[in-house]
Amino acid sequence: MTSVSLTVNGKAVTADVEPRTLLVQFLREGQRLTGTHVGCDTSQCGACVVHLDGEAVKACTTLAVQCDGRTVTTIEGLAAPGGTLHPMQAAFREHHGLQCGYCTPGMIMTAVDLVRRKGHHLDEATIRHELEGNICRCTGYHNIVKAIAAGAEAMAAEPVREAAE
């Protein structure tokens, strides 16, 4: 067993893990943060996307030991204290950027990172290109793209926030 200490959604966490423990297992099984989904276990679908030190990573191919001393934000940590949705979460709800919802947490985490990297004014081609690592089997992406564009604009009016503090 290896001891890891990290910050998850603004909370300090220390745990003993097997060196082979994936971050997605650590979050879902160890921390009971089940919003991070396991879709493919091969880094193809994006359902497991979380932020590691503010950048999107796929938790199904990231080891928990790699996160020692770092900060992880999951979909549960994106909302403000008190439950106010992050602007991207609100945009997905408002623009119906989901159907079954399984890919939605990963899509939202990817979208927030996309805005951080590319800015608040995103065109459809950029959004679609940036979503290539995320698979949705239900929606056809039209409403997801609309939601991301709206969420990006809404984020421009919000103060920068990563995890619930």
**Which residues span the domain enclosing 147?**
87-156
Q: Which among 52, 77, 102 is the end of a domain?
A: 77
Question: What would the pLDDT profile of 119-165 be if each residue is shown by its tens digit?
Answer: 999 999 999 999 998 998 887 799 999 999 999 999 998 766 555 44
pLDDT of residue 165: 42
What the block records as the tokens of 54 is 């503010």
The angle subtended at Cα 61 by Cα 91 and Cα 46, nearest 5°, is: 25
Q: How far apart are the first and last CA of the chain?
A: 29
Which position has the token pair 């934000």? 73
Q: Are residues 96 and 68 part of one domain?
A: no
Q: Which among 23, 42, 77 is the end of a domain?
A: 77
Question: What would the pLDDT profile of 25-81 be if each residue is shown by its tens digit?
Answer: 999 999 999 999 998 878 889 999 999 999 999 999 999 999 999 999 999 999 988
24 belongs to a structural domain: yes
pLDDT of residue 161: 57
